[in-house]
Structure 1
Amino acid sequence: MKFVHWLAGMACAVSLAGAAHADSLKDAIKGDHRTPAYAARDQYRHPEETLNFFQVKPTMTVVEIWPGGGWYSEILAPMLKGKGTLYAAHFPAATEVGYFKRSRESFEKLLAEEKDVYGAVKLTEFAPGGDSEIAPAGSADAVLTFRNVHNWMGGNNEQAAFNTFFKALKPGGVLGVVEHRAKPGTSREEMGKSGYVTQDYVIELAKNAGFVLEESSEINANPKDTAKHPKGVWTLPPSLRLGDEDKEKYLAIGESDRMTLRFRKPKS
């Protein structure tokens, strides 16, 4: 019986060690530290293909913008621990927005309670249009933002956001953007309301900040998504804002059609 308990303890220790120091992106994605509900969404978010497209390596300094509940942090933190650095540029600590406050507090709790996985994460903040420093200027190999551009449009801060990303990156660094994709010609007003942004507009924002578009990918495309829904992108899973109304229809569509863009900060 003692031997069985010893074996169980050893298995647990190995599991935690594997989560804390993933040797590769594949290891991090397969780690049993991941939240099951998050892992179930890999079919829509394609983390392995997406991070490979963004050329993220374990030795890099990476900034994740507005990590929310930590969906991508669960993958990036163990992948980078011990070799690279992860800056989690979360919502501002002094925010008065209830959702932002709850999300940041939940993320801070995650970092504090699961130190073998997240103990090396550097928590910073990002307030688009403000003076917050997401990472020391010129220090990052990659800045990654997942489905956030539409959030900054309400306050007319989207250009300021891209300017901040440019400042944080080293010359030659990568900006990786995943965003809900609007149909070409969609007005800025409709983008803000629907949560879908045209690919051309995102490219324009990046170029205005000084970036060069290196490559686009259809990794996260969803041809079943029309981008025209009663409650915008939030009609689709995971939000399902209409509740049970036409739920099966929207579950069959899946998560939104998304652009995946890799930009480069010029070396000179």
Structure 2
Amino acid sequence: MRNIATLALALAAALAANSTFADAPKTPVTPGSLAQASSSTIDTVLAGDWRSDKNKARDQYRHPKETLAFFGVKPNQTVVELYPGGGWYTEILAPYLKDHGHYVAAIIKPDKPDGEEALNKTGIKAKLAADPVRYSAAQVVEFVPKTAVLGPPASADVVLTFRNVHNMTDDGVAEPIFKAMFAVLKPGGVLGVVDHRAKPGTTLAQDKDSGYLPVDVVVKLATDAGFKLVAQSEINANPKDTKDHPKGVWTLPPVLALKDVDRDKYLAIGESDRMTLKFVKPGR
């Protein structure tokens, strides 16, 4: 009986994840209690036993508490994360937003039953369904990059994308996706971008397929879509990263594409040097 009940809960969570931006009842919150929740709940989430030791070990490079604070993410907001991948930030954002807010994972709609997009879809839905209590308010939105729609217009408070803009530029779909991010945000809403930062003075063509991106390329994509750059942070900077590795950013941890070749050298460098950019949709 216990297994049947668990399966029923997981199926219910998976079905709920397919809807978009449903209005789920939230625990009432006052401004005072929200301020307290913003500081205490994130610490509780980061220490959560559902996060593996391997994922927690990456906090030293990804600085999730400081990064989310820089972007102004609050527990009563609707937050859309593009390309959540394996769900590293899902494990933080979904529980953080569960009681008062709303987490949406925006993934590419697969055009075939196998391949990376299909695996990403299966993986993120399985993660949400496996813990229907912790991820009960989380949802999945599928989109086609060239005609992207991430949800109802002006329905999100924050859109976040971590180390994904280089994928968009490599695939030639960055412009429509940035326009979709602009459209889904409320006036005054925030777009937070973290990505691998190229050497100053390099071009997009020079950095193609390396994983690194020139900062000015990202800023232009955002401002062309209507955003205003309001702040930059060095939270995710890594001055040890020389950005001249044989396999691009994937030479470094966690991928370590060269495997045992110079492994200690790349472990000593750590994860890549990253830009952290905060944009706002004008109008409020």
1:266 aligns with 282
The answer to whether residue 50 in structure 2 is matched with residue 37 in structure 1 is no
2:203 aligns with 187
Shift of 1:113: 1.3
Give the stretch that moved more between structures: 228-237 or 120-129: 120-129
The answer to whether residue 104 in structure 2 is matched with residue 114 in structure 1 is no
The answer to whether residue 118 in structure 2 is matched with residue 101 in structure 1 is yes
Distance 2:135 2:161 in 1: 19
**Is the 1:89–1:123 Cα contact (8 Å) retained in structure 2?**
yes
**Is the 2:108–2:145 Cα contact (8 Å) retained in structure 1?**
no
Q: Deviations over 1:124-181 (max 9, x none)?
A: 02432124x2221100000000000110112211122111100000000000000000
**Is the 2:219–2:229 Cα contact (8 Å) retained in structure 1?**
yes
2:33 aligns with none
The answer for unaligned runs of 5 or more in structure 1 is 1-20
**Is the 1:140–1:173 Cα contact (8 Å) retained in structure 2?**
yes
User: SS of 1:117's equivalent?
Assistant: coil
TM-score, normalising length from structure 1?
Answer: 0.88
Q: Deviations over 1:202-227 (max 9, x none)?
A: 11111100000010000000000011
- Could you tell me which of 88, 92, 109 is aligned with 1:71? 88
1:123 aligns with 140
Shift of 1:93: 4.0
AA matched with 2:63: H
Distance 2:78 2:112 in 1: 26
**Is the 1:194–1:232 Cα contact (8 Å) retained in structure 2?**
yes
Distance 1:251 1:233 in 2: 12
Shift of 1:96: 5.5
AA matched with 1:35: S
User: Which 4+ stretches in 1 moved above 2 angstroms?
Assistant: 93-97
**Is the 1:63–1:135 Cα contact (8 Å) retained in structure 2?**
no
User: SS of 2:157's equivalent?
Assistant: strand
**Is the 1:179–1:197 Cα contact (8 Å) retained in structure 2?**
yes
Distance 1:180 1:159 in 2: 19
Distance 2:270 2:258 in 1: 14
2:154 aligns with 138
AA matched with 2:255: S
Distance 1:267 1:172 in 2: 6
The answer to whether residue 263 in structure 2 is matched with residue 247 in structure 1 is yes
The answer for unaligned runs of 5 or more in structure 2 is 1-26, 28-36
**Is the 1:87–1:135 Cα contact (8 Å) retained in structure 2?**
no
Distance 2:62 2:171 in 1: 27
**Is the 1:65–1:126 Cα contact (8 Å) retained in structure 2?**
no
2:192 aligns with 176
The answer to whether residue 70 in structure 2 is matched with residue 53 in structure 1 is yes
- Could you tell me which of 90, 97, 107 is aligned with 1:90? 107
Shift of 1:183: 1.0
Distance 1:196 1:222 in 2: 13
Give the aligned CA root-mean-square deviation in angstroms: 1.6
Shift of 1:60: 0.3
AA matched with 2:191: L
1:155 aligns with 171
User: SS of 1:122's equivalent?
Assistant: strand
The structure-2 alpha-carbon separation of the partners of 1:165 and 1:97, relative to structure 1 and needing over 3 Å to count, comes to: farther
AA matched with 1:37: K
The structure-2 alpha-carbon separation of the partners of 1:96 and 1:228, relative to structure 1 and needing over 3 Å to count, comes to: farther
Indicate the percent of aligned positions where both proteins have the same amino acid.
53
